[in-house]
Amino acid sequence: MENRIHNFNPGPSALPLPVLEKIKDSFLNYQSSGMSITEISHRSKPFDDIINDAKLRTIRLLNLGDNYDILFVQGGASLQFTMVPMNFLPDAAVADYVNTGTWSTKAIKEAAILGKTTHVAASSEDKNFSYIPKNLDLSADAAYVHITSNNTIKGTQWHEFPNTNGVPIIADMSSDILSRPLDIQPFGLIYAGAQKNLGPAGVCMVIIRKDMLEKIPANLPSMLKYTTFSEKNSLYNTPPCFSIYAVQLVLEWIEETMGGLENIHEINVKKANLLYDLMSDDGFYRGTAQPDSRSLMNVTFRLPSEDLEKQFVAEAMEKGLGGLKGHRSVGGCRASIYNACDMKSVEALVDFMKFFEQKNG
């Protein structure tokens, strides 16, 4: 399609072109209803079919048993930083958090605002969050262990999840959900803001093990209890219908076009390796994450100077390569190569990086 750039934005991020085309084709008249998808009632059969299909596809993709439920919640992952301790951390208990930077730090902060007790079981702050800690000091009686599976800003990712001796893991998987196969058994709850790897902004997918629902206090506000969403199929109030529709189409694309998580993981590994192969500690492009912790979703790197980084981002944009500026808190450059960022885009970026180095190295 003309005038579309290679989109490396970190979120909102690229959506699969077939999904966008399907939305475009059906936007004004969804399934001959005479209404846009943004106009149909969330109490109607068409929307019932959408939300139930999205749940079934998630169940199939992750091989979930009937002991898990899929919820759609507003407020993004940031609201989950609050909802998790409200629902699962009694005042007399402690929860373990692994601090791998930014999003983990915010999750810890939100629990503290509620007056909850948290224990930092491990942190990579000593090396500017450039790695995933391997040795965890877990509490003997933690209510849960919270991790952030992928850090979009620091470019790190858990490649092997910790053994928590049966304590449920609660994971923020906003930026790598459904990018690889997953053993769901250790997880009591997974949450993921859609705008990085699932769809547009506006909805957060929550995958919850049903025994966790039994732990939720009855006296929480209705919209801050997971039971409210579970009991009403995420239809207690008007949900973000369009965002859920787009998520359903992305799930369909992953399952039917891309062939599931094993295939998409293989592609993601190849994409990331193309970029990481250009980087070295003393080279023109220097990766900021330690090699064994490098993210397959967010490739973060520095150039020899900040002036060159600004020039790199500007010239890349002129070549139709967008979204390569690093997060404002860390600077540098970043290529977010989520599921919807295809191999051709990464190859175009690699060609530009080689050209830029030849010209400026």
Region 169-194: mean pLDDT is 98
Q: How far apart are CA 343 and CA 336, in angstroms?
A: 12
What average pLDDT does the segment 84-92 reach? 97
Q: Give the pLDDT score at 26.
A: 93
Local confidence band at 361 (pLDDT 50, 70, 90 cut-offs) = confident
- Res 159: pLDDT: 98
Amino acid identity of residue 16, one-letter, is: P
Q: Which domains are present in the chain?
A: 6-18+260-360 (3.90.1150.10), 27-256 (3.40.640.10)
Residue 137 has pLDDT above 90, yes or no: yes
The catalytic site residues sit at: 103, 172, 196
Interval 25-44 mean pLDDT: 96
> Is-contact 323 185, C-beta < 8 A?
no
Phi, psi dihedrals of residue 110, rounded to the nearest 5°: -65, -40
Identify the three-state secondary structure at position 234: coil
Task: Report pLDDT for 264.
Answer: 98
Give residue 3's pLDDT band: very low, low, confident or very high (50, 70, 90): confident
**What angle, rounded to 10 degrees, do the helices at 343-360 and 261-276 form?**
0
d(CA 325, CA 315): 12
pLDDT (0 to 100) of residue 98:
98
pLDDT at 1: 54
Tell how far CA 34 is from the center of its chain: 34
Mean pLDDT along residues 167-173? 98
* Rounded distance between C-alpha atoms, residue 138 and residue 119, angstroms: 8
Would you list the DSSP string of 284-328? SSEESS-GGGB-SSEEEEE-SSHHHHHHHHHHHHHTTEE--BPPT
Residue 118 pLDDT greater than 90, yes or no: yes
| Local confidence band at 332 (pLDDT 50, 70, 90 cut-offs) | very high
